[in-house]
A and B are shown apart, each in its own frame.
Chain A
Amino acid sequence: MKPESPHAATITRLNPHTLVFSGDWTVHGLGAITRQAESAGVSSGAGAVADGERIEAMDTAGAWVLQKLVRRLQGEDSMATLRGLRPAFQTLLDAAVQQAADQLAQPAPTANLPPTLLERVGQSAAATFEQALGLLSFVGESALSLAHCAMHPTRWRVRPILFNIRSAGFDALPIVGLLSFLLGVVVAYQGADQLRQYGANIFVTDLVDVSMLREFAPLITAIIVAGRSGSAYAAQIGTMSVTEEIDAMRTLGIAPMELLVLPKIIALVIALPLLTVFADVLGVFGGMIMARAQLGVGFAEFLDRFEKAVGLTTYLTGLFKAPVFAAIIAVVGCYQGFRTQGGADSVGRQTTRSVVQSIFLVIVADALFSIVFSALDL
């Protein structure tokens, strides 16, 4: 009764003109004979006989294999006959024959050849270009809707903005704080050995402060937020678009841009600089602790040097990047969310894509900032 232990289907050649089929011609019993069924033959011209009397069970898969076999036998020998099949099996076989005939009448779909290397390169280039254009038009759309909202202050949606500031900003404080603290510790620790060799212990302040304030704090904060909030934006909007909530919003006369996108962009542009300041403080604090432990630079000395080493520009150049990163993260997250279509699996794909793209763009923007700032001598 168990499907694992059927009598395997067999094809035996009784004599040159007779093939005997037996066993279970079912999906579970067929495994052994699929190859045999392709090659089993009879000597032609003498009215070959296939005997199906001993077939004990048959399902549609068995019927399919049998009709292929019989058709091939009849192709080799037009006099070939199949006999002895139980009536129930004959019905199945007839249905399979009918189906095969229908399928022959209907041209099979042309198999798609796997694309060549050049084709793949072209396809992915075109897709990337299309994505870039889409992102650009999304940026334009958000800007337009932002301008529209700016002219109609009554349409500002304050509650969603506050909610997003809390979820993207306040709730991210612990992780941002911890990671930038550790980063400060690592920078000071790595620099300690080199500085000690030259007896330049006090310059650990310069090392930690400049690297944290200018580069690490804005970057690490942006990367954490891209992973935390950018992905959440993409997933939220993506789920809504799969469940037709976005369409419903449009038909109810609510612009999804205004309700979903603008509050997120505005909230993140406010929250990310604040988080960056927090990361600055914790990063420098981490460096300070390490400086005292490794290099014997006390807190008072450190802070004293801090005032001289770091100008306001260093602090502001770092902070200036944060709103730009915030806009990148929010726009990319929302854009990928809106691009979700089809089923739920697409939500996951778009979420992943939003994180990868926003981190990529944040780092590209950071590099551009470095070039611009060095050109401006900041």
Chain B
Amino acid sequence: MQADAQPSEAVIQIDQVSTRFGAHVVHSGISLDVRRAEIFALIGGSGSGKSTLLREIILLQRPDAGSIRVLGADLQTLSEDATLALRQRFGVMFQHGGLFGSLTVLENIGLPLREHTGLDDQLIDEIALSKLAMTGLTPAVGAQYPSELSGGMMKRASLARALALDPELLFLDEPTAGLDPVSAEGVDALVRKLRDLLGLTIFMITHDLDLLWQVTDRVAVLADGGVQGIGSMAELSLSDRPAVRQFFDGSRGRAAQQQEARLAAVPPGHDTGRPPSKPR
């Protein structure tokens, strides 16, 4: 975390990005900015290129045209050293965890610290334990292997690893997909806490309407190879584009919106828990 960070500075700038797989055009000229310390979500139907865009931002794939700047570095012209340095400044939580099956959870979390810092083993274990606690897991989980974890625990452990190097930027791929409502609620709170405590910029892909309404600052809707709308959920709900409307017009969309309105009405400090019985 840089103490002198400008709150309005753009940490991700995507400019006219185009991607094709053979004849299939995924993105045609996408442009969007993500500002520092905001929680930004990318939504869109299946196959709309959300994951591809994420992979392009986290340096796993190159766009065919256009430029992407992350934390001030232009990904197109990045040297190998600069790439490594940049990678240490963001953390990624993968949809299925991406935890190394041959290492315990604690070793998984400590791995980036062991690789990239000069800290001693004992301190690394302590820091890993504190990340584990930060993501709401008990110390006992640290000794387990990823294959022994439930889906929710796996996501939390993956998040703990993404946070190991105290990144400035955090990418979450479907943080609540496949989780029960109670765990998903925990993720909502966790995402907010991370932003407030560490000043992280959070970029996520999600389909979870509750998460969208209650946590995100801005949301971009991706469809037909382009950005169909961008803004807060309240702003987007006024849009009349069909690709955007589908997130608000379904019964789930309306339920999440009403829920948000209800929560906004209760006084602060009141328990804002979502009813666990709610279908998602």
Query: Which A positions have Cβ atoms within 8 angstroms of B?
Result: 1-4, 26-28, 30-32, 34-35, 56-61, 64-65, 68, 86, 88-89, 91-92, 95-96, 99-100, 102-103, 106, 108-109, 112, 341-346
Complex-state Cα separation, A26 to B198, whole angstroms: 13
On whether A3 and B89 interact (CB within 8 A), knowing A26-B166, A92-B197, the answer reads: yes
Given contacts A3-B89, A102-B133, A103-B139, contact A342 B147 (CB under 8 A): yes
The docked-state distance in angstroms from the alpha carbon of A91 to that of B147 is 35
Q: Which residue of B lies closest to A88 (CB)?
A: B3
Kindly specify which of B124-132, B205-213, B228-236, B253-261 makes contact with the partner chain.
B124-132
- Using an 8 Å CB-CB cutoff, how does the interface string of B129-159 with A read, 1 for contact, 0 for none? 1110110001110110111100000000000
**Measured between alpha carbons, how far is A57 from B256 in the docked complex, in Å?**
39
Which residue in chain B gives the minimum CB-CB distance to A102?
Answer: B133
Tell me the bound Cα distance from A27 to B165 in angstroms. 6
A346 touching B130, Cβ below 8 Å: no
The answer to whether B140 and A109 have CB atoms under 8 Å apart is: yes
Distance, CA A296 to CA B197, complexed state (A): 89
Alpha-carbon separation in the docked complex, A91 to B166 (Å):
15
Among the listed A2, A95, A108, which residue makes an inter-chain contact with B139, where contact means beta carbons less than 8 Å apart? Answer: A108
Give Cα distance in the complex from A108 to B106, angstroms: 13
Closest to B134 in A: A99
When the two chains form their complex, are residues B101 and A106 in contact, meaning their CB atoms are under 8 A apart?
no
A89, B166: Cα distance in complex, Å: 14
Answer yes or no: B251 CB below 8 A from chain A CBs: no
Chain B stretch 41-95: residues in CB contact (< 8 A) with chain A: 72, 82, 85, 88-89
Does B273 make an interface contact (CB < 8 A)?
Answer: no
Closest 5 CB pairs of A and B: A31-B118, A342-B147, A59-B166, A345-B101, A343-B101
Do A60 and B118 have beta carbons less than 8 Å apart?
no
Residues of chain A contacted by B113 (CB below 8 angstroms): 27, 61
- Indicate if the CB atoms of A103 and B1 lie closer than 8 Å: no
Q: What residues of B have a CB within 8 angstroms of the CB of A343 in the complex?
A: 101, 146-147
- Residue on A with the closest CB to B73? A1
B117, A31: Cβ atoms closer than 8 Å? yes
Q: Please tell me if the beta carbons of B199 and A88 are within 8 angstroms of each other in the complex.
A: yes
B134 proximity list for chain A (CB < 8 A) = 60, 99
Q: How far is the CA of A103 from the CA of B126 in the complex (A)?
A: 10
Q: Is the CB of A59 within 8 A of B89?
A: no
The residues of A that contact B133 with a CB separation of less than 8 Å are: 99, 102-103
Residues from chain B with a CB closer than 8 A to the CB of A58 are 1, 3
CB distance from A61 to the nearest CB of B (A): 5
Which of B89, B113, B134, B147 counts the most A-chain CB atoms under 10 A from its CB?
B147
Other contacts beyond A26-B1, A31-B119: 12, CB < 8 A: A3-B85, A27-B116, A27-B117, A27-B164, A30-B118, A56-B3, A59-B166, A59-B198, A61-B113, A92-B198, A343-B101, A346-B101
Smallest CB separation, B70 vs chain A (Å): 13
Which single residue of chain A is at the shortest CB-CB distance from B127? A61
A selection of 8 A-B contacts at a CB cut-off of 8 Å is: A27-B119, A30-B117, A32-B118, A34-B123, A61-B119, A89-B3, A345-B102, A346-B101
Interface of chain A, helix or strand or loop or mixed?
A: helix
On chain A, the residues within 8 Å of B198 by CB distance are 59-60, 92
B106-125: which residues lie under 8 A (CB-CB) from chain A? 113, 116-120, 123
Q: For the side of the interface on B, what is the size category? A: 35 or more
Residues of B within 8 A of A92 (CB): 197-198
Q: A residues within 8 A CB of B138?
A: 106
Q: Which residues of B have CB within 8 Å of A32?
A: 118
With CB as the reference atom, state the residue of chain B lying closest to A346.
Answer: B147
Give the docked Cα–Cα distance between A106 and B164 (Å).
22
B6: interface (CB < 8 Å): no
Interface 0/1 of B237-260, CB less than 8 Å to A: 000000000000000000000000
Chain A: minimal CB distance from B254 (Å)? 34
Q: How far is the CB of A152 from chain B (nearest CB, A)?
A: 38
A29 to chain B: closest residue by CB: B117
User: In the complex, which residue of chain B has the Cβ closest to the Cβ of A107?
Assistant: B139
- Give the docked Cα–Cα distance between A2 and B82 (Å): 8
Smallest beta-carbon distance B69→chain A, Å: 14
**A61, B118: Cβ atoms closer than 8 Å:** no
Contact residues in B for A34 (Cβ distance below 8 Å) = 119-120, 123
Complex Cα spacing A96 to B146, Å: 26
Q: Would you give the shortest CB distance from A311 to chain B, in whole angstroms?
A: 54
Residues of chain B lying within 8 A (CB to CB) of residue A2: 82, 85
Report whether B142 and A109 are in contact in the complex, using a CB–CB cutoff of 8 Å.
yes
Minimal Cβ-Cβ distance residue in A for B99 = A343
Q: Which one of A61, A96, A344 contacts B101 once the chains associate, using CB atoms below 8 Å? A: A344
A371 CB → nearest B CB, Å: 42
Select which of A103, A109, A342 is within 8 A of B130 by beta carbon: A103
Contact of A59 among B1, B123, B140, B142 (CB under 8 A): B1
Residues in B with CB closer than 8 Å to A344 are 101
Q: How far is the CB of A82 from chain B (nearest CB, A)?
A: 17
Measured between beta carbons, the chain B residues less than 8 angstroms from A26 are 1, 166
In the complex, what residue of chain B is closest to A30 when comparing beta carbons? B119
**Complex contact A103–B129 (CB within 8 A):** yes
Kindly state the separation between the CA atoms of A59 and B133 in the bound complex, as whole angstroms: 16
What separation, in Å, do the CA atoms of A102 and B132 have in the docked complex?
12
Give the residue among A89, A99, A341 with the most B Cβ atoms within 10 A: A99
Residues of B within 8 A of A4 (CB): 85
B277 contacts A by Cβ under 8 Å: no
**A246 CB to closest chain B CB, in angstroms?**
17
Give, as a whole number of angstroms, the nearest-CB distance from A44 to chain B. 25
Cα A207 to Cα B181 with chains together (Å): 74
Check A112–B143 contact: CB distance below 8 A. Answer: yes
Whole-angstrom distance between the Cβ of A90 and the nearest chain B Cβ: 12
